[in-house]
Amino acid sequence: MKIDGYLNNIEYDFSGQLDDANRAYLEALQTSCDPFFNEELKAVLGEDFDLNDKKTLEEFFATYVMCLIRIKESAELWNKEWGIDGYFKFLENHMGDMINDDRLNFTVKIDPDKVDIDLEL
């Protein structure tokens, strides 16, 4: 809904749906991919990234939307397979050793020597 609002210049009122429990998830999601919310992300994108251009925003948010859809589908699959906490069990099995505490830091630590990705911006 927030992305739709950015693309179509609509302001949505989420106050009826937001509570302390889901506010942290919204903020985590916005911190990870929303240059309107996250000033650091906006700075990384630079001045050449036009936040007022609909096509630019559609292209930028497309990857994030596809990832969210994939996460939703994965959660549905693993919850069906292993019960109501199935997706969390799946995550624990695959990422548990990368998480050092119970804080919601929005990131997972990686060893760049063991991962084949370009960490340069």
**Tens digit of each residue's pLDDT (9 = 90 or more) over 24-35:** 888 888 888 899
- Asked if residue 121 belongs to a domain, the reply is no
Whether residue 116 is predicted with pLDDT greater than 80 in this model: the reply is no
- Asked if residue 37 belongs to a domain, the reply is yes
Domain total for the chain?
1
- Asked if residue 56 belongs to a domain, the reply is yes
Query: CA separation (Å) from 83 to 68, 89, 103, 108?
Result: 21, 9, 25, 25
More confidently predicted of 113 and 55: 55
Neighbours of 87 (CB within 10 A): 20
- Asked if residue 119 belongs to a domain, the reply is no
- Asked if residue 49 belongs to a domain, the reply is yes
pLDDT in tens, 41-95: 888 888 889 999 999 999 999 988 999 899 999 999 999 999 999 998 898 888 7
Q: At what angle do helices 20-33 and 54-82 cross, to 10 degrees?
A: 130
- Asked if residue 47 belongs to a domain, the reply is yes
70 lies in which domain range?
2-98
- Asked if residue 112 belongs to a domain, the reply is no
- Asked if residue 79 belongs to a domain, the reply is yes
